[in-house]
Amino acid sequence: MPNVTYIEPNGNQVQIDVPAGWSIMQAAMSNGVEGIEAECGGSCACATCHCYVESHVDAIPAAAENELSMMENVVAERKPNSRLCCQIKMTPELEGLVIRFPEAQS
């Protein structure tokens, strides 16, 4: 299973083998990574799984219109590498992906 590094708001790094097809949000939630709330469960309806993509930016499909508009609701600073990680599906190409969670989600 491809490996993803999650950086929690306090800087702690967590490495997780994420099954292909799971969302990046799902694996963080199932493994208790700090810094994510994901209130809506992954419907792109709440903006509480905000993350900064620190690697593989070009390998991830661009955000769709609904994700871009939902990102207007993020609480932490919105940066060029901001994404809602419920909308990123794990694929073998994302081996070694690094995801950072912001200070606040709500």
Partner 1 sequence: MFSFDPYSPAVDADPFPFYKTLRDEYPCFWSKEANMWVLSRYADIVTALNDWQTYSSAKGNLMTELPNRAGATLGTTDPPRHDRLRGLVQHAFMKRNLESLVEPIKQIAKETAAPLADMKQFDFISEFSSKFTVRVLWAALGLPLGDEALVREKAVLMVQSDPTTKAKGPEHIAAYNWMQDYAAGVIAERRKNPKDDLISHFSMAEIDGDKLDEREVLLTTTTLIMAGVESLGGFMAMFAYNMADYHDARRQCVANPDLLADAIEESLRFNTSAQRFRRCLTKDTELHGQVMKEGDFVCLTYGSGNRDERQYPNPDVYDISRKPKGHLGFGGSVHACLGTTIARISVKAAMEAFHQVVPEYRRVQEQLPWLPSSTFRSPMRLELARG
| Site residues (vs partner 1, CB under 8 A) | 19, 21-23, 26, 29-32, 37, 39-46, 48, 66, 70, 89, 106
| Sign of the torsion formed by the C-alpha atoms of 20, 35, 84 and 106 | positive
d(CA 39, CA 50): 11
Strand order in the sheet with 97-100: 13-17, 3-7, 97-100, 50-53, 82-84
**Smallest gap from residue 62 Cβ to partner 1 (A):** 16
**Smallest gap from residue 95 Cβ to partner 1 (A):** 18
Quote the Cα angle for 52-53-54, to 5°. 105
Nearer to partner 1, 58 or 62 (CB): 62
Nearer to partner 1, 33 or 53 (CB): 33
Nearer to partner 1, 3 or 66 (CB): 66
**Smallest gap from residue 80 Cβ to partner 1 (A):** 24
